[in-house]
Amino acid sequence: MPTIRPNSPKAWLLAARPKTLSGALAPVVIATALALSPSAQGGSGASPAAFWTVAALCLTFAALMQVAANFINDYFDFRRGTDAADRLGPERACQQGWVTPRAMLLAIGLALTLAALAGLGLLAAASQTQDINMPALMGMGAACIAFAFLYTTLLSYCGGGDLLVWVFFGLVPVAGTYYVLTGTLSREAWLLAAAMGLVTDTLLVVNNYRDRASDRRAGKRTLVVALGERFGEQFYLWQGLAGTALAALAVPASSLWLYLIYIVGHALNYRAMRRIHSGRGLNALIGRTSLAMLTFTLLTAAALLA
């Protein structure tokens, strides 16, 4: 990679890790599709402009929280020495000297402030069209900020990262988005929330599978480190299949065949995971897993809107 000037725009773009945004935005897309589907419950007849304003603010909040979480992860892993020279994944900004630690702390504060403003704007817009529980939603937003710190500083080091992904990339964004768009929650919303959490966590599993040796040396006990690489392989496979099964319960039966596309791709990724086994070759599998997650999202949205 060519030399990157410290604190340059390119350095900040790399630090923000835009490729990770798909994991944050996918749950909002699925919840929005469900809110637009014929089976949607609730709603107050809000105008299309009001509906899409709330949806756009949900996307903005999710994107800003993802960027803030990336900055937090970059800074605290650098401070703890987790990002060593033998790192197999993409280079981190602080570790490479592209962004100074002080600048990263300021960026964390800015990203969280912007996310909070987007969240408040979201609540204000949603309250104009739906009868919503404001204290509960504010508490949910505060929890998102708190766990962005807890993930990197504590939970990812003791096997709690997967639980956080299930909750904050599945249950919270899908159910929360559907709630602010419709003013209610439904069986389908909870099923898709659980499904999205499982499918999204396949990204974390393959990431932890790739980094298992360096994580073990750094004292980072992910589930793959604690339970072994064979567990990681099976965990990856069955989360994708379980997520598909849950989603199948929430979409029309006539659209179930669409999920064959995701299942085939996921099975091929599982085979590649076992074949590659270790090293930088797994970076390509992370990209393929991200593509599979995007495919799952689009297939689900298509099934809901068909």
- pLDDT averaged over the chain? 90
Structure-token pair, residue 196: 């999205």
Helices (H), the chain: 9-16, 21-36, 48-80, 93-96, 101-127, 134-153, 161-166, 176-182, 187-210, 212-218, 223-227, 229-248, 259-276, 282-305
Domain boundaries, the chain: 9-305
CA distance 78 to 99: 11
For residue 79, the tally of other CB atoms under 10 A from its CB is 14
Give 42-63 pLDDT, tens digit per residue: 554 668 888 999 999 999 999 9
Give residue 45's pLDDT.
Answer: 60
Give 215-242 pLDDT, tens digit per residue: 888 788 899 999 999 999 999 999 999 9
Give residue 41's pLDDT.
Answer: 63
Assign 190 a pLDDT band (cuts: 50, 70, 90).
very high
Higher pLDDT, 49 or 3: 49
Tell me, what amino acid is at 20? Answer: T
Give residue 90's pLDDT.
Answer: 72
Give 235-292 pLDDT, tens digit per residue: 999 999 999 999 999 999 999 999 999 999 999 999 999 999 988 889 999 999 999 9
